[in-house]
Amino acid sequence: MLSWSQLATGSFEDEKLTGLKQVFGVATSVLIGCAIVLAWQDLAAPGGAKPIGVSPVLVFVCLAVLCIIAVLWSVRDYRAWKALGEGGLPTNIWGWVAVTGMRPFAGDPLDQSVFSELLNGPSDVAYLKGIPPRDMPRPIVAPHAVPHRQVSQIPGPEVMQRLSDAFDDIMNNNREVLEYKLSRFEKHNPAIWLRDVESGNPATGLCGEIGHFHPSDGSMHTILSPSDARTVIERGWGELHSMARFKRIFPTETFVMLYAPGRAGHVPVIKRIIEAATRYALPVEQNHIKGSSL
C-alpha cells in the first residue's frame, strides 16, 4: 500500500514503485542500445560485413513499457497533486500539466545564493536575530511548485486554531494599516494586506500582500527581508518557494514558505516571523506595529 508521502514526493521506497523503476531503467537501456545499433547500420559496414539486425518487436515492446510506466507515474502524480488542494492554478488536468512543466525550472528551496547579493544592502533589515532553531526536522514538502505544501508534520485542530489566532492578533492590533483580502498568489485563501500598497516598502516588490495561511496543512507564505529569510532558512523554520527566483511569478527572491507549527510552542516564533514580514512591508519610516514582540 503506497503512503501519501511516497505519492507526493515521488519516492520509490515502495516495492511496487521500486520494481517500476527497475523496469524503466532496463527498458531505457535497451532502447538506447537499439538506437546505437540502428545508427551504426546507417554507416558503411567495414569490409562489406552485414550490420547487426535489431528486432522491431523488441523496440516496440520497450517503447510500450516506457509508455505504460509514464502513464502510471502521471496518474499517481496527478492524484497526489490534486490532493494538495487548491492553489494558484486550477485543480484540473491543465493545471497539473502547467505545474509539471515548471519542474525542470524549480530551484533548490534552501539555496540562499538567489538573494545573497541583497544581504546587507541598503534595503536589508534584520528583525529575527534572536529566534531559536526549530527543534524538529524539516517536514516533507510536495515536489510540486504550485500549490507549495508540506505533506508531513501536519498540526492538529488545536494548534491550527492557535496559528489562525496569531494571524488575527496581528491583524486586529493594526487595522489602520492592515486588512484581510484574498491572496493574489493563492487566489483561494485570505491574506494579510497593506491597506495602502503604494506607500509600502519598495524592496518587497510593492505587491501589498504580507502573508497568507494554508488551512490544508498549516504552512504559510510570506515575504521577508534578505537577512530574515536567511535566518528562517538556516534555523529550520522555512524554505524558499522553488520558483521564487523568477520575478515574473513572484515580486521578490525572498518569497518564503514557513513550515506549519509542529507543536503549540512553535506558534509564538512563527508569529514573530509574520510580524517581521509585516514590518518589512510597511513604509520604512513608519514600520512599527502594535502588539509586536519584536
Digit-coded pLDDT (tens) for 209-253:
999 989 989 999 999 999 999 999 999 999 999 887 776 566 788
With beta carbons less than 8 A apart as the criterion, state whether 34 and 54 touch.
Answer: yes
Phi, psi of 85 (to 5 degrees): 95, -175
Q: Compute how many other C-beta atoms are within 10 angstroms of the C-beta atom of residue 230.
A: 20
Digit-coded pLDDT (tens) for 61-95:
677 777 888 888 888 888 888 888 777 777 888 88
Please enumerate in sequence order all residues whose Cβ is within 8 A of that of 151, keeping only pairs 6 or more positions apart, or say none: 4, 5, 8, 9, 84, 139, 140, 141, 142, 217
Q: How many CA atoms lie within 13 A of 27 on its CB side?
A: 18
- At 42, list the grid cell: 546507417
Q: How many CA atoms lie within 13 A of 199 on its CB side?
A: 12
64-81 residues labelled b (16+ CB within 10 A) or e (exposed): ebbeebeeeeeebbbebb
pLDDT per residue of the chain (294 residues) written in tens, 0 to 9: 333 333 333 443 344 445 555 555 555 665 566 555 555 555 545 555 555 555 676 667 677 777 888 888 888 888 888 888 777 777 888 888 888 888 888 888 999 988 999 999 988 999 998 899 999 999 999 998 888 999 999 999 999 999 999 999 999 999 999 999 999 888 888 899 999 998 899 888 778 899 998 998 999 999 999 999 999 999 999 999 988 777 656 678 899 999 999 999 999 999 999 999 999 999 988 888 998 877
Q: Where are the domains of the chain?
A: 4-83, 112-286
Name beta bridge partners: 255: 223
Going by C-alpha positions, the residue among 208, 238, 12, 30 that lies closest to residue 133 is 238
